[in-house]
Amino acid sequence: MSQRELGATAVELASRQEGSEESRRHLVEQSRDFKRSAPEELKKLAAPLLKSFQAEIDSLLWRSREAEAAFLNVSKRIAEAPDPTLHLERLEETLERLQDVEAANQQLSEALEREVTCQREHADRDRRLREAQLGLAAKLAETERHTRNLQAGG
């Protein structure tokens, strides 16, 4: 129920309360008229019935007033409560930003993983190159020794 609907219902309740009060006054007046104009024997027969009806009407009136007061109290609190729309919009924006950050984080993680793989490949390639250089240097030294031996012996 919207705040506008709550306000309309509150106005309708106030209108009904006035109508109920007017009806009650009219019934009281009719009861007095009956007591003034009815024969004594009819008054004695009707008195317990009228008292029972009056007690039930009073009870219903009390319940109605309590329920209406509770409704008005709740509708007043709702009307005074801050509109959650702004907070919900901010929360939605925050959630969208969080999703964007999570997507960026995922992309960065994947990029980092690719970079780490690339670094390992470079390190492995560098290691193989160093091993190849050492092997070539050893072969070169061997060849130079062999050449010197051939020159010295020949």
C-alpha to C-alpha distance for 71 and 91, rounded to whole angstroms: 31
Q: How many domains does the chain have?
A: 2
Tell me what the mean pLDDT of segment 31-59 comes to: 89
Residues 68 and 95 in one domain: no
User: Which of these three, 81, 107, 140, is where a domain ends?
Assistant: 81
* Sole residue written with tokens 């309360």: 17
Please, what is the average pLDDT of the chain? 90
Contact 14, 69 (CB under 8 A): no
Mean pLDDT, rounded, for 48-67 = 88
Query: Do residue 63 and residue 107 come from a single domain?
Result: no
Domain boundary among 81, 102, 121: 81
Q: Write down which residue in 39, 63, 81 finishes a domain.
A: 81
One domain for residues 7 and 77: yes
Contacts of 54 (CB under 8 A, 6+ apart): 31
CA distances from 26 to 16, 75, 146 (A): 15, 31, 136
Confidence grade of residue 35 (pLDDT, cut at 50, 70, 90): confident
Average pLDDT over residues 2-10: 78
Q: 10-19, 104-113, 127-136 — which is least confidently predicted?
A: 10-19
Query: Which structure tokens are listed for 99?
Result: 């999703």
Average pLDDT for residues 8-14, to the nearest whole number?
Answer: 81
Range of the domain at 63: 3-81
Residues 62, 45 within the same domain: yes
**Amino acid letter at 7?**
G
Mean pLDDT of 27-56: 89
Q: Looking at the structure, do residues 56 and 76 belong to the same domain, yes or no?
A: yes
pLDDT mean over 43-57: 89
- pLDDT class of 1 with cuts at 50, 70, 90: low
pLDDT bracket for residue 154 (50, 70, 90): low
